[in-house]
Amino acid sequence: MKPHAPHSTDTLTTWLDYWGHVHVTGIDLGLERVIPVAEKLGVIHPEAKVFTVAGTNGKGSTTTTLAAILNAQGYKVGLYQSPHIYRFNERVKLAGAEVDDQRLIDAFVQVDQVRRECGLSLSFFEATTLAAFVIFKQQQCDVWVLEVGLGGRLDVVNVIDPDVAVITNIGLDHVDWLGDTVEKIAFEKAGIIRPNIPVVFAGQQQLPQAIQDKVAETQAQLYTLNQDYFYQLDEDGQTWSFASSGSTLKLPVGQLALDNISTAVAAVLVSGIDISQQAIATGIQQARLQGRFEIRQIQDRTVIFDAGHNAHGVEFLLKQLRKFLKYNKQYTEVVAVFSMLADKDIPSVTDLLKTTVKDWFIANLDVPRAAPVQQIQDALQGQQVHEFGSIQQAFETVLKQGNNNQLILVCGSFHTLEAVWEYLEECR
């Protein structure tokens, strides 16, 4: 039995629940069903400059920085990201601000009406992404900054032809969907490349053959880290330098990871968009993103939230963490509030974190894909582990029992972070 369509007067929660039940699965890669709906909505050829960002990790920080730089220059920017952490509205931003519920609902009404006219079913991700495009079109955004949800080639974001394609890096993640080798995954990411456009590849590894092949086939202009552009943190830790054949810039260090900030700067500079060095600097300083090495002060304790949930993401987290500890020597130990999803490579993640984390405070996540706490215990054998009934209890204990020499790291999954944020919201 098909779910009954909500109305424009229904709540956002009602609509999100509806989209969760319209299609047989939440993820259904392929563009056959999406393209006819996108065409009828009139969003497939936007009158805007489009940046599309794919990659295994770093997409959120890169798209956030890109949008912040372009906003600082005065462009009207539509930013689409996923997943959200606390509110669905985080996925769709106009001029740096989350869109309100009613704007999303109105877009959902349009998407639902058109998909019915086309006689097609849409997954949650497809419907909600098309709604973002509807909003950006209605608002006549000058620039669309789009984060690919999964892969690239068959992701709904790829119905739009980008003017600039960015691939942050390639690592093994979502292997059930994208393939079990770096080359197979690179092939999927390379699907966002179009003929004769600039392509930024920011991976630290050797350029995968699949991307080289796609660039050659499309005659795209490739800009590769450490070959076509370079960046380096200055000795003071407060500024950094960006260099390419066309420019050399000295810029402030922002809140987000420098690897991703530099990727955003490279993408802006190759795009041909008119941008000043001042706008780049201002955007970098203003860019913030929940859950990506996010540093917060809570009850006089320093807490770092990071959503890294695979080996590649955690290596990146540790790189930032070591840099942070180098400049903040008052922290003599790191304790972790930690849990993961069962379908992730838990041993790889914990093995990396064991080098830095002294004490572990773990619990089951309250979501269907949660790893049983015993699975996490097994991966942490030989470590100092404290088990709790919930992540909220684990975090509360760390706050109350610890001291100011401890740095608290909340990590392992977006859901781990969400559980702590819900706790903090309840305590307000």
What pLDDT does 180 receive? 59
Mapping DSSP onto H, E and C, the string for 349-368 reads HHHHHCCCEEEEEECCCCCC
Residue 109 has pLDDT above 90, yes or no: yes
Architecture of domain 294-427: Alpha-Beta Complex (3.90)
What pLDDT does 29 receive? 60
Residue 173 has pLDDT above 80, yes or no: no
Average pLDDT score over residue span 299-303: 92
Please give the mean pLDDT across all residues of the chain: 91
Q: How does DSSP assign 128-186, residue by residue?
A: HHHHHHHHHHHTT-SEEEEE-SS-STTSGGGGSPPSEEEE-------HHHH-SSHHHHH
Quick one: tokens of 330?
A: 């008052």
What pLDDT does 266 receive? 98
Query: What are 146's strand-pairing partners?
Result: 52, 80
Average pLDDT score over residue span 164-189: 74
Highest mean pLDDT out of 37-46, 54-63, 251-260? 37-46
Q: Assess if CATH 3.40.1190.10 describes domain 12-286.
A: yes
Residue 424 has pLDDT above 70, yes or no: yes
Domain boundaries, the chain: 12-286, 294-427
Return the percentage of the chain with pLDDT > 90, whole number: 70
pLDDT, one tens digit per residue, over 347-373 is: 999 999 999 999 999 999 988 889 999
pLDDT, one tens digit per residue, over 241-281 is: 999 998 899 999 998 889 999 999 999 999 999 999 999 99
Work out the pLDDT band at 175, boundaries 50, 70, 90. Answer: very low
Average pLDDT score over residue span 51-76: 95
Residue 177 has pLDDT above 60, yes or no: no
- The one-letter code for the residue type at 250 is K
Residue 225 has pLDDT above 50, yes or no: yes
Residue 20 has pLDDT above 50, yes or no: yes
Which of 17-21, 77-81, 212-216 comes out lowest in average pLDDT? 17-21
Beta strands in 282-350 (DSSP E): 294-298, 301-305, 333-338
